[in-house]
Structure 1
Amino acid sequence: MTHGSALVFNELRLQEELCDAIITVQNEDFHIHKIILSGCSEYFRALFTRWSHPADQMYEIVHVSPDIMRLIIEFAYIGSEEVTPHNVKELYIACDFFKVIGLMEACCRFMGDHLSKDNCIDIWQLTENFFCPTLNGDAFHFILQHFTEACASSEFIKLSIQQLLKLIEADQLLVRDESTVFEAILHWIDHSPEERTTYISQILPKVRLALMTPDYFVTNVINNMMLMCDTECQETVKTAQTLLNDGIVRYPGIYHPLARPRLPASILLAIGGRIKNGYSVATNAIEAYDICADLWVNLTNPEESPRSQLGVVFLNGSVYCVGGNTEIQYFSSVRRFDLATHTWHQVASMKLRRCCVSITALNGCIYVIGGNDGHNCHSTAECYNPESNQWTDIASMNERRSHASCTNFQGKVYICGGFSGESFLSSAEYYSPDIDQWFQIAAMSIHRYGLGVVALEEQIYAVGGKNEESYINSAEVYNPQTNSWQPVTPMLTPRKGFGIEVLDGRIFVVGGFDGFTVIPNVESYDHNTGEWSEATNMRISRSDLCCCVVSGITNMADYAALRGSSLDHSCTHPSLPV
């Protein structure tokens, strides 16, 4: 039916002309044309052709309000989709009953676009009872990713025991501490203790008790009266206590169900670089760090070419590998890895060859700054728009910089240190995309070449590197409010040419060269305590690599350590091409 015809039929309906039926809902009459409603609804088609006599004209409809029926009729005539937060649930249920597929899909889209911590549980339950598998999966994933907020909503206590178990047994459940899960189940039970206490022996083994801190476990689990009164729960608690006391949680290759790590919210990728194999050679190695398991997973695709001194950034579900070099070649090319499909794609090349480049993502675009082409250090910079697949020149820096490092902070790009082609640099500057201009800021306390720069908690950190005298383990922090640098605790290991990223609120430094050898060492900085601590080493010693953090993807399990009953932590991930 054309748009013009639809308007004509709707006008006839409103004027009650040529109508052949009246639908009555709660004493309100709707004059309609049978053929129009039959065209959009299997229910009405059956009602008019099989469940009644063709001569019938009066139909009374129950279990729906006049307002909802009006919306359904308007959709049938003119395709109107007046979906709002106030009517979407009732409208969705009615459309499911009347088989108004088009309007039901509109309701699903609306609910999917408006998922929140307050309504995600309600939408999950609704779409389980009224079939919409895509939205049901989206709502379930949303609850897992926002569990702390969702379990504080009024809808959480309405979960069935089956729904609660499905949530808390999922590896994808995102919580900073397992105590959140334990307190959530106590809250759920407390809503109806006489009925729900009987489920505690089913629920407790789904909580990863051995991942709790010992103090919390002793105070809140061992001494919980409800658990003390249940024999099965006492056995579960004793097992968890043994795991905590014996330290089996940290033993590589063993994951007892009570000690099985949840999937991380983010994964740290370490890509490319140089390895020492008699002499220094570029590598195509890719490893992923799973912070919850404290393990590295090999994701290397042997079909991808080696690159060192490249730039890597995560944007819109893809990882971009930009520029870099091998022993004989300098690249302007860019490779994009689609994390959802596990596939590599070639995208538009930069205008210049750039290795030792600084890179960051800001406002949906990728900025690559400085670097060198094997002969000259660059002061130039380029911006890549993934939507147009085009690179655009932006303003040049005040200095040429290779082996520098940059980060984005408060809508600007900050770059520090590096090598000008003639000298090591302590200078720093920032770029304002709004006016396409660079501005110098206070210089660092020392020259740093091959350093790492990240933003964390309203400040910018410059870490490690090399100067004229030595390899550096020192670090300093820049306060944009005062335009000044202050020293912070040095790293445990001096290094240059390493990867650096912020993961789970901590600064991670990965690999590099310590002045003697290429290292696999990884350490992290906790800005709350001001201390560096060791993490599990990469499996491959590398320098001149680049790191990025991947988050917000639905297939995080593809890039994390395996969560089976046992784990060979030296294996290659089976879900990825090798």
Structure 2
Amino acid sequence: MSVYNELRLEKKLCDAVIRVENVEFYVHKIILCNCSPFFQVLFTRWSTPDCLVFDVPNVSADMMKLFIEFAYTECVPVTLENVQELFIAADRYNVTGIVQACSDLLEKQLTPQNCIGIMKFTDIYYTPELKNKAFLFALNHFEEVAATSEEFMQLSAQELSQIIGDDRLNVKQEKMVFRAILSWISYAAGERREYISLLLPKVRLALMNLENFIECVSNNPLVKESEDCKSILLRTLKAMLDLQTMSFFDSIYYHPLARPRMPSAIMLAFGGWRGRVPTDAIQAYDVRADRWVNVTSNMEGPRAYHCTVFLEGSVYCVGGFDRVERLSSVHRFDLVLRTWQKVAEMHVRRCFVTVTVMDGFIYAMGGYDGEDRHNTVERYQPRANQWTLIAPMHEQRSDASSTSLHGKVYICGGFNGNESLSTAECYDPESNQWTLIASMGSGRSGVGVVAYADHVFAVGGFDGTSRLSTAEAYNPETDTWHAVPSMLSSRSNFGIALIDDRLFVVGGFNDSSTFRAVECFDVEADEWSDARDLETSCSALSCCVVYGLPNLAEYASPHHSVQISEAEEREVE
């Protein structure tokens, strides 16, 4: 193509002249035909064979210059300043390559403030892929969109209904959807009041707690004034009763007032110790439905005392114990294909290993090989499929736990062969050095560690005498630990993960046996609460959170996005 472009610039072998706003561009017909069907029709149907000069209307000379340069170079300088004009012109003349380049830029520039505008733009200039991405962006960032976007207030009632009725709407509490409706109505109350009965059924009212429902919804003047809303309130109360009395059969998902939203992320629990043997089971937790789902793709053999992390769309399962030997092996689980692939092994066997992700690397720390507890650390680069040993820790640690926060790796507790450790340290990749930080208040092996609310939380574990329910948090700015509320149950060797701004602990061992209990901590409420138990008791499992998958729904609890008549709805009730 560079040869053709040189010929064009030198006006050699050109067989056509494109004229726009009295500016002439010498071109080769065949090159422009390859760029857009418009030019093919222009040269073959809308002109005679002897025609040399072609006037093209409704486009600027600057835009035509970009069209022609793209036809010869397959490159186009799309900027925030020219993207709208370029998109419109390229759409009009069917230059699909430029349309795609503009779409790519607009996708990268999506914000809660402009996503609805871009979505409406694609209604005029049909680009289904960009429209879908803008719509999904609005769903995923709905609370911020409703709170900050002027474009949100310009939505039609039908457009708003489509958004808030979608299963994929990302909201933690349904009262936020109701508040968004009220804000939209108040923007033009006189003409929008009548739409409350259209919009209210799109809120999953039965998922609200009764106090919020009565205070926020049933006592709202707009709702009270609408006769149509009264039947919606009655159906909501009936659905709430069904849920509270555990009448939670599958068909409840068809009830538009009670169907949980799709989660934006899923917590996966891998393997673990059940009874006297490790398992290869995978379970998925849907935080919005508060349900566990069995995943059919089992692990590459049973294992316990391993660690899993999510990175670049895949889960990596590192080290552990398969009841026969301590493992150095690492397997990658493709979440879309649901297939396992073995990747490079670590330098040493690591049972009771702890693993975390930072800046695109996987860090594997400490562990036990059957003879020695390790202080060694290695780092995995997925693209190179290579593990590299980095600076060792100050302490030998097996059964520790780790996390990353503000560009540093933190590891806490563990067992050194003699005692449960209260010490903790952090790693700075820039200096390749570990630094001891303030010790925890308790020795903790089999501990759970996670970064949460700009702190490092250390939860539960074994202090050498008993399993702990206590938890504490580390402030990196002050190098101090402080106590936080204790768990409802004491436990060690449990799964731990952060999802939906809550810290979840899953299963574990409680001094006498493995157990099923799951609970979560809300830092704002400063309290622990029960969540849905595992299907079976399990300890020494590993949890991680996955997101951004095209097939995330496959790991969620069943959701039925169907429209049903009022008669069918009454049958469900």
**1:546 CA drift (Å):** 1.1
**1:209 CA drift (Å):** 1.9
User: Which runs of 5 or more residues in structure 2 are unaligned?
Assistant: 563-573
Q: Contact 1:519/1:543 (CA < 8 Å) preserved in 2?
A: yes
Q: Contact 1:379/1:398 (CA < 8 Å) preserved in 2?
A: yes
- Equivalent in 91, 96, 99 of residue 91 of structure 2: 96
Q: In the alignment, which residue of structure 2 is the partner of 1:404? A: 400
**Letter of the 2:134 counterpart:** A
Q: In the alignment, which residue of structure 2 is the partner of 1:309? A: 305
Q: Contact 1:295/1:536 (CA < 8 Å) preserved in 2?
A: yes
Distance 1:311 1:40 in 2: 51
Q: In the alignment, which residue of structure 2 is the partner of 1:425? A: 421
**Letter of the 1:411 counterpart:** G
Distance 2:403 2:248 in 1: 34
Q: In the alignment, which residue of structure 1 is the partner of 2:145? A: 150
Distance 2:51 2:182 in 1: 57
Distance 1:249 1:565 in 2: 24
SS in 2 for 1:477: strand
1:495 lines up with 2:491 in the alignment: yes
Q: Contact 1:243/1:249 (CA < 8 Å) preserved in 2?
A: no
Q: In the alignment, which residue of structure 1 is the partner of 2:259? A: 260
Which stretch of the first structure deviates more once superposed, 506-515 or 39-48? 39-48
Q: In the alignment, which residue of structure 2 is the partner of 1:569? A: none
Q: In the alignment, which residue of structure 1 is the partner of 2:133? A: 138
Q: In the alignment, which residue of structure 2 is the partner of 1:44? A: 39
**1:128 CA drift (Å):** 4.4
Structure 1 residues 83, 447: CA separation in 2 closer, same or farther (over 3 Å shift)?
A: same
**1:310 CA drift (Å):** 0.3
- Equivalent in 437, 440, 443 of residue 441 of structure 1: 437
Distance 1:202 1:363 in 2: 46
Deviations 1:355-376 (A, max 9, x none): 1001100010100100011221
Distance 2:452 2:406 in 1: 11
Distance 2:529 2:218 in 1: 30
Distance 1:110 1:382 in 2: 38
Q: In the alignment, which residue of structure 2 is the partner of 1:8? A: 7
Structure 1 residues 61, 119: CA separation in 2 closer, same or farther (over 3 Å shift)?
A: farther
Distance 2:514 2:198 in 1: 50
Structure 1 residues 79, 537: CA separation in 2 closer, same or farther (over 3 Å shift)?
A: closer
- Equivalent in 30, 38, 41 of residue 24 of structure 2: 30
Structure 1 residues 225, 488: CA separation in 2 closer, same or farther (over 3 Å shift)?
A: closer
**1:199 CA drift (Å):** 4.8
**Letter of the 2:509 counterpart:** F
Structure 1 residues 205, 407: CA separation in 2 closer, same or farther (over 3 Å shift)?
A: same
- Equivalent in 525, 528, 532 of residue 529 of structure 1: 525
Q: Contact 1:512/1:542 (CA < 8 Å) preserved in 2?
A: yes
Distance 1:225 1:58 in 2: 69
Q: In the alignment, which residue of structure 1 is the partner of 2:537? A: 541
- Percent identity, aligned pairs only? 45
Q: Contact 2:424/2:439 (CA < 8 Å) preserved in 1?
A: yes
**Letter of the 1:325 counterpart:** F
Q: In the alignment, which residue of structure 2 is the partner of 1:202? A: 198
Distance 1:371 1:535 in 2: 30
Q: Contact 1:208/1:259 (CA < 8 Å) preserved in 2?
A: yes
SS in 2 for 1:473: coil
Distance 2:393 2:76 in 1: 51
Distance 1:166 1:302 in 2: 37
Q: In the alignment, which residue of structure 2 is the partner of 1:571? A: none
Which stretch of the first structure deviates more once superposed, 230-239 or 536-545? 230-239
Q: In the alignment, which residue of structure 1 is the partner of 2:567? A: none
- Equivalent in 115, 127, 142 of residue 120 of structure 1: 115
Structure 1 residues 199, 341: CA separation in 2 closer, same or farther (over 3 Å shift)?
A: farther
Report the aligned-residue RMSD: 2.6
SS in 2 for 1:12: coil
Distance 1:157 1:238 in 2: 29
**1:65 CA drift (Å):** 3.6
**Letter of the 2:340 counterpart:** W
**Letter of the 1:30 counterpart:** E
Structure 1 residues 304, 173: CA separation in 2 closer, same or farther (over 3 Å shift)?
A: same
Structure 1 residues 180, 494: CA separation in 2 closer, same or farther (over 3 Å shift)?
A: closer
TM-score by structure 1 length? 0.89
SS in 1 for 2:206: helix
Structure 1 residues 34, 447: CA separation in 2 closer, same or farther (over 3 Å shift)?
A: closer
SS in 2 for 1:532: strand
1:558 lines up with 2:554 in the alignment: yes
Matches within 5 A, 1:244-259: 244=240, 247-248=243-244, 251-253=247-249, 254-255=252-253, 256-259=255-258
Which stretch of the first structure deviates more once superposed, 536-545 or 234-243? 234-243
Q: Contact 1:464/1:475 (CA < 8 Å) preserved in 2?
A: yes
Distance 2:49 2:511 in 1: 91
Q: In the alignment, which residue of structure 2 is the partner of 1:466? A: 462
SS in 2 for 1:23: strand
1:166 lines up with 2:166 in the alignment: no
**Letter of the 2:383 counterpart:** E
Structure 1 residues 44, 438: CA separation in 2 closer, same or farther (over 3 Å shift)?
A: same
- Equivalent in 511, 519, 523 of residue 507 of structure 2: 511
Q: Contact 1:10/1:77 (CA < 8 Å) preserved in 2?
A: no
Q: In the alignment, which residue of structure 2 is the partner of 1:318? A: 314
Structure 1 residues 79, 508: CA separation in 2 closer, same or farther (over 3 Å shift)?
A: closer
**1:247 CA drift (Å):** 4.7
Q: In the alignment, which residue of structure 2 is the partner of 1:574? A: none
Q: Contact 2:297/2:339 (CA < 8 Å) preserved in 1?
A: no
**Letter of the 2:85 counterpart:** E
Deviations 1:480-504 (A, max 9, x none): 2222222222222111111112222
Q: In the alignment, which residue of structure 2 is the partner of 1:576? A: none
Which stretch of the first structure deviates more once superposed, 158-167 or 358-367? 158-167
Distance 1:223 1:101 in 2: 53
1:385 lines up with 2:381 in the alignment: yes
Deviations 1:81-122 (A, max 9, x none): 021123222322322221212222222222222222233223
Pairs aligned (count): 557
**1:389 CA drift (Å):** 0.7
Distance 1:31 1:533 in 2: 71
**1:34 CA drift (Å):** 6.0
Q: Contact 2:350/2:368 (CA < 8 Å) preserved in 1?
A: yes
SS in 2 for 1:553: coil
TM-score by structure 2 length? 0.90
**1:200 CA drift (Å):** 4.3
**1:532 CA drift (Å):** 1.9
**1:421 CA drift (Å):** 1.7
Q: In the alignment, which residue of structure 2 is the partner of 1:181? A: 177
